[in-house]
Amino acid sequence: MSEAKRRRRTEEMEIFEDSRGPTVGSRSRGYDVSAIDAQVTSALNGSVEGLLGVCTEAELIYAAAGKSFPYCIVFLFALACNSQWADARFLMQRCSENGRAPTEEVEDAFMVVRHFMRNDRGNALKVLESRVWPAEVEPVASKLVVVLRTEARELIERGYSSISVNKLSEMLGTTEPQARALVLEESSYYEPWKQSGGFLIPLTPSESTGRRLGINGNAKTMEGGSLEELKLLSENLLSLQFS
């Protein structure tokens, strides 16, 4: 970690300690870890911004209590959902410096970020969907799937006049039948594409009705973006994939 980042982290901890009031000796305060755990659990079905706020406080509380932070993946995926990729990389460094070898789940979460940083949403999605995440991670992992697949689809619509099913499946991180179903079947959020021979024809901006997902308030037309709303969209996408 760079010296500037270390200073920033130290300042954050000092501000946090000041906000908690005087302590009696180093790390002697009885930090109520169970209370912040309950807040994280409650925030999982709320907005991403709310979850980020709770995770930020939770990390500081665990650090002040001298305990390992258990919500690295939740925090990492929430940052990714909010397109805070620089902060996500910084968090990866902090999670790697706790003196413990990363678990396979943490390594896979790191791999999702690394794939995205290489502009490879397809493989990021494959990693996300190949693992059964713990209960506290699943809601935000499902949201990240929707965010990345929505971004990939909209990038394709802006950048391609036609695309092969094989290329589409790579970019969406799905099989070819799933990719075809995702773009050819109408849903509550998407207008279907067209097909010409062996190629799929994405919608042009003028053809789109604007029924698009609002990601974290940066909405096209649909407002909201809570984890619960995105979970419903994720279920909608899954129903298309496996129908």
Indicate the Cα dihedral angle 45, 51, 54, 59, nearest 10°: 120
Q: pLDDT for 159-205, tens place per residue?
A: 899 999 999 999 999 999 999 988 988 766 678 899 888 899 998 76
pLDDT at 207: 64
- To which H or E segment does residue 105 belong? helix 104-117
What is the pLDDT confidence band of residue 7, given thresholds at 50, 70 and 90?
A: low
Q: pLDDT for 109-139, tens place per residue?
A: 999 999 998 989 999 999 999 999 999 999 9
Q: Residues 42, 74: contact at Cβ < 8 Å? A: no
Q: How far is it, in rounded angstroms, from Cα 131 to Cα 144?
A: 13
pLDDT at 103: 86
Place of tokens 């990492």: 76
Q: Mean pLDDT, the chain, as a whole number?
A: 78
Q: Residue ranges per domain, the chain?
A: 3-18+30-120, 140-241
Please state the rounded mean pLDDT for residues 16-30: 44
Cα–Cα distances (Å) from 146 to 8, 141, 152, 220, in that order, read 33, 9, 10, 15
CA-based diameter of the chain, in Å? 74
